[in-house]
Amino acid sequence: MGNKASNGLSPYIVLASGLSICVFLLFHHLGHDYITQWDEIVHVNVVHNLYVDCCDPKLHSIDLGTDFEGTGDGSFKAGNVVWNNCYIWLHKPLLPFYLRAAIYHTFGESLFVFRLPSAFFALLTTVSLLLIARKFSCIWVSIGVALLFASDRYVFELVQGRQFSDLSDVMNVFFLTMVLGLTLVTAAGRPLFFTDRESSVGYCVAS
């Protein structure tokens, strides 16, 4: 009887241990002051300016007249807007930037708070993968899928701000995972978070 109970708890012990290690690594030195040249240095400025003035997504606090100036980067053609040196900044979808600016108003402005949503969405994706995989396979496979994502080096680098796009990519992965999961489980007749009747509505919302 005792062996059966311990065997039943084993997957959850592995999951809890694995997630604890991944969470520790994701949050370890999350507020480090090394800001990468691409893209975090740009994103930090845009979020700061949205925090100060939510109406205009600006890279620079004042118009320096550098929107069409060369920056030494040969990839920019003459006359094109220089995305990393322009005044009004619309290079990427703004939801991740407004989210960070809103969190600044709650917890204050710091690099830890700046990177915190990336860690949060990485963990949400991990949980989503666990739930989706559990609909189609055993608990061990589900845990393996979730921990493979949570321990992935590239995910860690995104959360820490050392790869292009940071939060934008992490949020994209989360919402794409949700759409894919809802598509699979709805097609299989196994609603993920919803009843049979509500699953199609949930799919539309996630899309």
Does residue 198 surpass a pLDDT of 60?
no
**What pLDDT, on the 0 to 100 scale, is given for residue 1?**
47
Residues 165, 36, 49, 59, CA torsion sign: negative
Residues 123-141 have pLDDT tens digits of 999 999 999 999 888 999 9
**What pLDDT, on the 0 to 100 scale, is given for residue 99?**
96
Tell me the pTM. 0.81
Residues 23-35 have pLDDT tens digits of 999 999 999 988 8
Q: Predicted confidence band at 60 (pLDDT cuts at 50, 70, 90)?
A: confident
Contact in structure between 103 and 167 (CB atoms under 8 Å): no
45, 162, 46, 161: which is closest to 93 by C-alpha?
A: 46
Q: Give the mean model confidence (pLDDT) for residues 92-121.
A: 95
Q: Give the mean model confidence (pLDDT) for residues 183-206.
A: 61
Q: Give the mean model confidence (pLDDT) for residues 65-94.
A: 69
**What pLDDT, on the 0 to 100 scale, is given for residue 74?**
54
Q: Predicted confidence band at 153 (pLDDT cuts at 50, 70, 90)?
A: very high
168, 123, 176, 128: which is closest to 150 by C-alpha?
A: 123
Q: Give the mean model confidence (pLDDT) for residues 144-172.
A: 93
The pair of structure tokens assigned to 54 is 């939510």
**What pLDDT, on the 0 to 100 scale, is given for residue 165?**
85
131, 187, 132, 127: which is closest to 199 by C-alpha?
A: 187
Q: Which of 37-46, 86-95, 152-161 has the highest mean pLDDT?
A: 152-161
**What pLDDT, on the 0 to 100 scale, is given for residue 86?**
83
99, 87, 93, 105: which is closest to 45 by C-alpha?
A: 87
Does residue 67 surpass a pLDDT of 50?
yes
